[in-house]
Structure formats: structure tokens, C-alpha cells
Chains A and B, each alone.
Chain A
Amino acid sequence: MNLTLKIWRQKSPKDKGRFETYKVEASPHMSFLEMLDVLNEELISKKEDPVTFEHDCREGICGTCSLVINGQPHGPNKGTATCQLHMRHYKDGDIIVIEPYRAAAFPVLKDLAVDRSAFDRIIQAGGYISVNTGAPQDGNAIPIEKDQAAKAFDAAACIGCGACVAACPNASAMLFVSAKVAHLAMLPQGKVEAKRRAQAMVRQMDAEGFGMCSNVTACEVECPKEISVKNIARLNREYLSSSISSETKV
């Protein structure tokens, strides 16, 4: 199939950036990123600059790939990261617009690659259970109800790709932050410091310049791991109850 690509090109963070148009021939069995590989090989053969985009595992789990494809982070398919999107979902003659994530807290580095280190700093603020390596109690000494463990897992499945931020008109990181807060707060091991964690992570999120959550829920729709906005309610609960509790000092 023959496709027309309109791709955002930007040499550096300071460069203004613009769309460039390219033609590429793809097979329906290719993945979306393999289609971009083909384009890059062509550009290199013409001694032109290939398009910089980030990717690694190409199995939808590392969270490195991103892209906004025809206005949707990770493209049109539900619960699918860009690297798992295949060209059979497109047809001959399609025009595809490919942009980087747009958010103040995710500055563009080059072409389609953005800086998502703000997420690391949010986790560093408190997205963990404070336990050193050592000799904790036996794993079976903490029984956890099967469904509760499953719910915690659902939240923990977040891959930190940032699609939630890119999908949100306010560029809010609430889904990402809430997934970690909820994962740990739903487990007895993480309950102990749940309030402190919620306070610290939200404070860092605000400091990074992410927007406010206004319950648009586009984040849930575009999330490649289908993380539920219920987690945002869980975060709000943790955050509010810790805000009115005078004992929580962060």
C-alpha cells in the first residue's frame, strides 16, 4: 500500500519545528514502526536525515514508544501501544499525520522524541515501598485476597509511556500518578505509607508543570494498558484523607 506521511520534524528542543511530507510503500503485515524503519532506510539511502523516534521492546511493554498518530496517542487501536499497531489497520492511499506528544512537561528533544524524565522524578518522590534489601517476612506471611491482588496488578500494569498526558487537554499526569498510588495503597505492604506517598507524588507532579485533572477521561481511552480512571478516584481519596489528617507530614 502507498501512504502519505506528514511527520513533525524538529532538529533540537530550541528549533521551531514543522511538518514534512513523505511517501512510503508499506505491507499490511508490517508494524507501524517497521513502516517508519522502511522510511528511514529510504531517507538514509538518499543521504537525508532519518526521522528520530523512540522505541525499544516493540512488544508493548517497555513504554519507550510514543507518537501521536492522526491525533491519537499510540494510534487508533484500543489498548495498543504504537509498536503493536500494524499496518493492516490502514488502507492504500491513507494520509497519516505523526506528531510527538505535546505537553509542557514533556519537551520535544528531536523530531518525535520527547523528554519524559518528569515521570521518573514523580516516582522518586514516593512511588515505592520503603523497604531495604534484607530478610523480610516470608512471602506467604502476607495473605492478599485474590481479587485485591488482581486490582493492584491492573494499576501496576502502567508502562509509564505518557500517553495519558498526551491525551489530556490539560496535559495532566493524574492517571500515571494514580496508577502507582493505587497499586501500592491497595496492598497491605504499601498501605503503611500510603498517605505520605500520595502527598509527595502529587506535590512533585505539580512541580513538574503537569496540568490539573478535569475528569475528561481521555487518558483512560488512550492508555495502551487500559488503566482505569477509577485509580484517579482512589488517588483523590488518599490525597484528600491525608490532607485533612494533621499527622501526615511530608
Chain B
Amino acid sequence: MSFDSNVPPGPLAEKWTQYRGTMNLVAPNNKRRIEIIVVGTGLAGASAAATLGELGYNVKCFTFHDSPRRAHSIAAQGGINAAKNYANDGDSVYRLFYDTIKGGDYRSRESNVYRLAEVSRNIIDQAVAQGVPFAREYGGLLDNRSFGGVQVSRTFYARGQTGQQLLLGAYQALSRQIAQGNVEMYNRHEMLDLVLVDGKARGIIVRNLLTGELERHAAHCVVLATGGYGNVFYLSTNAMNCNVTAAWRAARRGAYMANPCFTQIHPTCIPQSGDYQSKLTLMSESLRNDGRVWVPKKQEDAKAIREGKKTGNDIADADRDYFLERRYPAFGNLVPRDVASRAAKVVCDEGLGVAPTGLAVFLDFEDAIMRYGRSKAHSAGLHNPSDSKVRELGEQVVEEKYGNLFEMYEKITGENPYKLPMKIYPAVHYTMGGLWVDYNLETNIPGLFALGECNFSDHGANRLGASALMQGLADGYFVLPYTIGQFLSNEIRTPKFDPDAQEFLDAEKDTRERLEGMMNVKGSQSVESFHRRLGKIMWDYCGMSRNADGLKKARKMIQELREEFYKDVFVPGSLDEYNPEVEKAHRVADFFELGELMVVDALDRNESCGGHFREEYQTEEGEALRNDEDYAYVSAWEYKGWEEGPVLHKEELVFENVELKTRSYK
């Protein structure tokens, strides 16, 4: 299969403009004859389906949710980056590009990232035009805030619900196209296989989740926007139904999976409270604008807090270790996610954790509350206000900024974060890895495109905050609608595909046999119990830090667990009905294979970079030790089944515009 990044020639800053101006077009009369399948309705999928519909293509859009509006993009809290430089603080397209490349620890493709930074500005304009209610200043202009790993304010936000508002914007644009008949929407349909005809992606097999019926759908090309695979860890901030099946089935049909071991562990999540826990909840990174992260300096204080004999408030300032400010004075609490997460793990490993499990650090708003309170008292003309008045005013300001997050924290933990410092711990949040794509966002299978978190392209080994929304919408609104023309302009004479063709019948048969195989095991253990065990293996050996011995062990454990699954899983009910246990079963089955590949990838990469921290490769100060000499490549894995194992293809990363440096936030 071809394996070329297809990056257009020319200087970095002009590549996209030049390419866009010269690429092949599909005339309106031909668009009407062309069918496109879009799978997924998150930011990337909904924006792509809507835009392709507007352009005049015939779009069929699929989601396993009951409505496109439920996709997990809806839960993104903090914001979306754009190089608008409204804050007049020196931001530019180049700076956003540079921050993203550096934040990703120099493991992403320059040209793709530059394009992302370029179109970031259009996204804000588009969203405003759609009626997205971004936060405003008193003058009526758009407000910005700061996120980790950068020194400018370029993050646009809608309270703590930016993802929700952007997704509703895309959903509404999609709804308009559905009403106009340009997009045919299939809710409650889950993709279970990809169909190739003569080596090109021409359709999918889906399961109607209400009836259990398998359906065959054909088109000229297939666009996957099916999100990330963080749920391979069982516990993550992903929604319960997030899964890798669509992307993995494409990988099973020959699409390369790139950098699968690059997982983002987000530092500020609500810690796990028990074994019954079904998921973890994120506390937005925006909180690190004002919250200070610390643990007690003394073991006995930490112990007393864990046992409930003391609270964070009982520890004097001199007895606190603000470890991010201490280790990284230049960026302080706003270091990137991978750095903050590892630092939290280090102090907890030293026995300084503050939750009963020993796995939590404090995120403290006391200073911010008092600072805002004094400032507000000053503007209100109050001289010598009492501490309690200052606190009251300060709490109001903090509530305005983060009210919904504080409320969410209190609902889950039962503790009031205005009075007691929050307890937080890192959790799996995002996967930088994904299907390998070229500059056109096309995988190595012609006619198969991958957008958003589903692809690997822009975030390297670590994603910066507020960049996932940016990438999803960039891909869907402003990149794919152009680049898909490069493929489709050669297909204008291709007649519609017949979903009753042999290739489709074969794929449907494969899918049915796969599902029946799981149903027929009739063992004794639930799907959920297998998923939990897989998640624990992944977290223990392929989580925040990894080493060769652990990874080798994990691979074996995953293989054994997979065998046990196919011998002893019990899936209740039948295939031909609304049966959520069937959905879970095939998703977990795919997670086994992906999980093993992640371990293999982590083992291959003998360096530490971004979210991938190999214990063998660190500096004396415990920072990640990258190896650009040997590992400045994208690992693109070809999956060849259980026996043969995955085969590695390398895309060497060429850096013509940035100098590879040790990533320092000190």
C-alpha cells in the first residue's frame, strides 16, 4: 500500500494556500452524483457532514448515539485555541504552530500543524456566525484565557461548556442539512466493518442498535470521525460508549494505526473513590489559571490528611510543597498536561498523596479567591475590607469563572471546593495516536479519511489544552471539504456502488460470525469484568510511566485475558434485539487487540517523549529524555492478526522550520 505523507511543496506558511488554490475540484453537477459516508457526529464528524452537505454531496451520516448531539465532544469544558491575537500579547499563527509542535514533543508533522494554526482563526468566526455564545468582555468583544504550555491568552470559551456549545453549533448546521435532504442521518447505527472494493474504501457494515439488524451501506468514500480510544483503560474521562471499533475495524482491513501508545493523561481529574467506579470526571485545565497545585511537605501531614484527621486548610503555607511552581518556575501551574501529571505521580509515589487511596494532590483556590476579592473590593471603593468580606467577593469572582466546575466537583465528592482545596489526580483523557493519515487526511487505504481524535496527525506525543476542539473543527469545516476533492475528482465517472455486491455480503458475513462467536461462548464472566481487568493492565503497565519489562509482561497478560474472554465471556440476550451488552462485547473484543498494539508500540519506542514516559529514558532530574536520532518518526502499524503480529512502518518526521530542542518549561 502507498505510504506517502503527500505534503505539498513550498514554504511552510504558503503550502496550504497554494495547495488549496491548485487542487482538483469536483463540479456541482458531479457532486450531486457522489455519495459520502461520514461515521461519527462529534465536532469533526458533524462539521464535516454539514459542510459536505452544503457543498452538494450526498452524505450519509452514522452515529451509535440516539442523537448526533450526544457525541462526547459535548463534554469538553475549557475552550478552543485560535491565533487571533485579540489579547495583543504577541500571538500569531507561527506561535500557535510552534507551541503545538513543542507541546507535542516534536513528534507531529510540521505541515499539518501549521495548517491547523492557520485555519484556527476561521473556526472562531464560523462559530460566532452560528450563534455560539462565547464569553464576552464588557465592550462586547470576545474574551480569552490561558491554557497550559503557552504564554499567551488565545483560548476562547463558553463558560466551562465550550465543547457543548461548539458541538451544538455543528449539530445545528448538520440538522439544517438533514432538513434540506443533503444529509441522510442514521442514529443508533454502529459501524462494525469497513468494506473495500478493489482496494478502495466503498462502504461500511453497521448494526441497527434497536433491532440488531446488520445493514450494508455503500458510497464513493468513507470518512471516519469516531473519536479516541481512551476507554481501553476502562477508567477514563471518556464517555461510557466511546470505543475504538470503527477505527480498529479499518485497521483490520489494512489502515495503519499510528503512534498508538501516545495517550494523554490529564492531571486534573476527580480521584477514583472505589472499585465500582465506572468513569472518571475531568476538572478543566482552565482551573490551573487560578488554582495552585500542592502536597504537604511532611509525610505525617499527608498521612493525617489521608486518615481524615487534618484537612488541607490545617497545613501552614511553609509546610506545603507547590511542586509545579518549584520545579517549573517559568510556567508554574500551567505546565503542559504530561508534565503536570508525571509530577503529581512522583509526589504520590513518595507517599505525599492526600486521598485515602494515596492518589491525589491538592488544587487550591485560596490565593485566587483572596486576590480577586481584594481587587473587587478595591473597584467597589471598599477600603480596609474585612477578610470575610474579601473572601465573599473573591468567591463570587471564582464562581463566575468556574461555577459549573465547582458545582460538579461538589456533586461528585460531597466536598465544597470554595472552602476546602480540591483533590485531583491524573486520568486518561485523550489519545494522540490514531489512524495514520496524509496531508489530505486520507489513510493509506484510498478513499478512507480520518478526522479529529480518530487520526494521529496534529498533537504528536502530547496535546495542548483547548487544541482538540480546534483540530476537530479544523478537520471537519476547513480541511476535509477541500482535500476530499483530491480523491473524488477521480471518481466523477464512478457509478454508485451496489451494497449487494459480493464484497459487502462477505463483510456482513464476517461481522455476523464475529458477533455470533461471542454470543455462543456462553461462559460465566461479564463483558464489564473483562474490560475492567484489561483497563487495569493498561493503566499499570502502559499508563503514566512504562518500562520494557512491564510492557513485555503486559503483552502476555493481554493475550491471556483475550483468550479467556473468548472461552468464558457471557453475553446475555440475543443479537436481534436492542442489547447494550452486545455493543459492549464487540467493543471490548477490539480493545484487546488495540491494547496489545499500544503495548507493542510503547515497547518499540525506546525514548521518553510527551505522554510516553519510559522509565529507562529520563534525565537525572526525572524529565523525559527524547531520542531524536533514532525515534523522530511516526510509527505506523499494519495489523496482521493475532498470530503474525503487527508490522511497523516508519514515517520519518522532517523538521525544516523548527529546531528540535529539549522541551523545557523551567
Q: How far is the CA of A30 from the CA of B136 in the complex (A)?
A: 38
| Choice from A12, A116, A127 contacting B172 with Cβ under 8 Å | A127
The reply to whether B136 and A145 form a contact with Cβ atoms under 8 Å apart is: yes
Given contacts A38-B276, A52-B580, contact A136 B126 (CB under 8 A): yes
In Å, the complex CA distance between A62 and B70 comes to 5
CA distance A115 to B187 in the complex (A): 11
* Docked pose: A135 CA to B125 CA in angstroms: 8
Q: How far is the CB of B495 from chain A (nearest CB, A)?
A: 29
A129 near B131 (CB under 8 angstroms)? yes
Contact A62 B129 (CB under 8 A): no
Interface string of A42-66 (1 = CB under 8 A from B): 0111011110101111111111100
Q: How far is the CB of B231 from chain A (nearest CB, A)?
A: 12
Which residue in A34, A59, A123, A138 is a CB contact (below 8 Å) of B171? A123
For the complex, give the distance between the alpha carbons of A80 and B410 in Å. 12
Q: Which residues of A contact B84 (CB under 8 A)?
A: 139
Query: Considering only CB atoms, which chain A residue lies closest to B48 in the complex?
Result: A133
Q: By the criterion CB–CB under 8 Å, are A62 and B239 in contact?
A: yes
Cβ of A38: which chain B residues have Cβ within 8 Å of it?
Answer: 276
Considering only CB atoms, which chain B residue lies closest to A57 in the complex?
A: B239
Contact present for A120 and B281 (CB under 8 Å): no
Which residues of B, 150-200, contact A by the 8 Å Cβ criterion? 158-159, 161, 164-165, 168, 171-173, 175-176, 178-179, 185, 187
For residue B54, CB closer than 8 A to chain A, the reply is yes
Q: Which residues of A contact B528 (CB under 8 A)?
A: 37, 41, 44
Inter-chain contact B239/A128, CB cutoff 8 Å? no
B72: A residues at CB distance < 8 A? 56-57, 62
- Residues of chain A in range 163-219 having any CB-CB distance to chain B below 8 Å: 183-184, 187, 189-190
Please name the residue on chain B nearest to A158 by beta carbon: B168
Against A, the Cβ 8 Å flags (1 = close, 0 = not) of B57-73 are 00000000111111110
Residue B477, interface by CB 8 Å: yes
Binds B, one of A1-9, A96-104, A148-156, A237-245: A148-156
Closest Cβ of chain A: how far from B571's Cβ, in Å?
A: 9
Of B65, B173, B276, which one neighbours A56 at CB under 8 angstroms? B65
Instruction: Flag if A149 contacts B133 (CB, 8 Å).
Output: yes
Contact segment of B138-146, B342-350, B533-541, B655-663: B138-146
Question: For residue B138, which residues in chain A have a CB less than 8 angstroms away from its CB?
Answer: 146
A44 touches B572 (CB 8 A): yes
A189 touches B130 (CB 8 A): yes
Known interface pairs A34-B276, A63-B69; A50-B572 also in contact (CB < 8 Å)? yes
Q: Is the CB of A116 within 8 A of B240?
A: no
Which one of B173, B279, B581 contacts A44 once the chains associate, using CB atoms below 8 Å?
A: B581
Contact B159 A131 (CB under 8 A): no
Please determine whether A129 and B172 come into contact, CB atoms closer than 8 angstroms: yes
| Alpha-carbon gap, A34 to B274, bound state (A) | 11
Name the B residues within 8 Å of A152 (CB-CB): 131, 133
Q: In the complex, what's the smallest C-beta–C-beta distance from B380 to chain A, in angstroms?
A: 18
Measured between beta carbons, the chain A residues less than 8 angstroms from B462 are none
Find out whether the CB atom of B141 lies under 8 angstroms from the CB atom of A140.
yes
The proximity string for A residues 69-112 relative to B, scoring 1 for CB distances below 8 Å and 0 otherwise, is 00000000101100010101000000000000000000001100
- Which B3-53 residues have C-beta < 8 A from chain A? 47, 50-51
Contacts of B137 in A (CB 8 A): 146
Residues on the B chain within 8 Å of A135, using CB: 122, 125
Q: Which of B69, B131, B478 contacts A184 (CB 8 A)?
A: B131
Assess the A139–B173 pair: CB atoms within 8 A.
no
B122 and A41 form a contact (CB under 8 A)? no
B134 near A149 with CB under 8 A, answer yes
- Using Cβ atoms and an 8 Å threshold, which residues of chain B touch A129? 129-131, 172
Question: Which chain A residues lie closer than 8 Å to B71 at the CB level?
Answer: 62
With A62-B239, A146-B136 as known contacts, state yes or no: A139 contacts B128, CB within 8 Å. yes
Q: How far is the CA of A134 from the CA of B477 in the complex (A)?
A: 8
* Nearest chain B CB to A42 CB, angstrom units: 10
Is there an interface contact between B274 and A27, defined as CB atoms closer than 8 Å?
Answer: yes
Chain B residues closer than 8 Å to A153, beta-carbon distance: 133, 158-159, 165
Q: Tell me the A1-35 residues at the B interface (CB within 8 Å).
A: 12, 27, 29-31, 33-34
- 1/0 per residue, CB under 8 A from A, across B230-268: the answer is 000000000111000000000000000000000000000
Q: Does A246 contact B (CB under 8 A)?
A: no
With most chain B CB atoms within 10 A of its CB, the pick from A38, A56, A117, A135 is A56
Whole-angstrom CA separation of A86 from B409 in the bound complex = 12
Residues A52 and B54 in contact in the complex (CB < 8 Å), given A44-B526, A63-B70, A120-B67: no
User: How far apart are the CA atoms of A131 and B481 in the complex, in Å?
Assistant: 16
What separation, in Å, do the CA atoms of A163 and B282 have in the docked complex?
25
Q: When the two chains form their complex, are residues B411 and A133 in contact, meaning their CB atoms are under 8 A apart?
A: no
Bound CA–CA A142/B187 (angstroms): 35
User: Known contacts being A135-B125, A143-B139, is A62 close to B74, with CB within 8 Å?
Assistant: yes
A117 pairs with B179, CB closer than 8 A: no
Cβ-based interface call for B277 (8 A) = yes
Chain B min CB distance to A39 (Å)? 11
Chain A neighbourhood of B128, CB < 8 A:
136, 139, 142, 189
Question: Nearest Cβ in chain B — how far from A25, in angstroms?
Answer: 11
Choose among B135, B142, B179 the residue that contacts A140 (Cβ–Cβ < 8 A). Answer: B142
- Complex contact A61–B172 (CB within 8 A): no
Residues of B within 8 Å of A84, CB to CB, are 408, 411-412
| A56 & B239 in contact (Cβ 8 Å cutoff) | yes
In angstroms, how far is the closest chain B Cβ from the Cβ of A118? Answer: 10
CB distance from B283 to the nearest CB of A (A): 11
Q: How far is the CA of A183 from the CA of B168 in the complex (A)?
A: 12
Residues of chain A lying within 8 A (CB to CB) of residue B524: 45
B414 within 8 A of A: yes
Instruction: List chain B residues, Cβ under 8 A from A48.
Output: 572
A144 at the interface (CB under 8 A from B): yes
Residue of A nearest to B69 (CB): A160
Partner of A115, one of B54, B66, B158, B273: B66
The distance from the CB of A223 to the nearest CB of chain B, in whole angstroms, is: 14
- Name the CB-closest residue of A to B570: A44
Are B176 and A130 closer than 8 Å at their CB atoms?
A: yes
Measured between alpha carbons, how far is A80 from B72 in the docked complex, in Å? 19
Least CB distance, A219 to chain B, in whole angstroms? 19
Query: Which residue of the partner chain, among B178, B477, B580, contacts A133 with CB atoms under 8 Å?
Result: B477
Which of chain B's residues have a CB closer than 8 A to the CB of A55? 240
Whether B308 is near chain A, meaning CB under 8 Å from some CB there, is no
> In the complex, what residues of B have CB within 8 A of residue A140's CB?
86, 141-142
Q: How far is the CA of A80 from the CA of B411 in the complex (A)?
A: 8
Top 5 nearest A-B pairs by Cβ distance? A143-B140, A128-B172, A136-B129, A139-B128, A153-B133
> Given contacts A34-B277, A110-B577, A124-B179, could you give 11 more A-B pairs where the C-beta distance is less than 8 Å?
A41-B526, A56-B70, A58-B279, A62-B70, A62-B75, A80-B411, A119-B67, A129-B131, A132-B54, A137-B129, A156-B165
Interface residues of A (CB under 8 A from B): 12, 27, 29-31, 33-34, 37-38, 41, 43-45, 47-50, 52, 54-64, 77, 79-80, 84, 86, 88, 109-110, 113, 115-117, 119-120, 123-125, 127-140, 142-146, 149-150, 152-153, 156-157, 159-160, 183-184, 187, 189-190
Between A and B, 22 residue pairs with Cβ closer than 8 Å are A29-B274, A30-B274, A41-B526, A43-B572, A47-B572, A50-B572, A56-B65, A61-B75, A116-B66, A117-B187, A119-B67, A123-B172, A125-B179, A132-B51, A133-B51, A133-B54, A134-B126, A137-B129, A140-B86, A146-B140, A153-B158, A159-B74
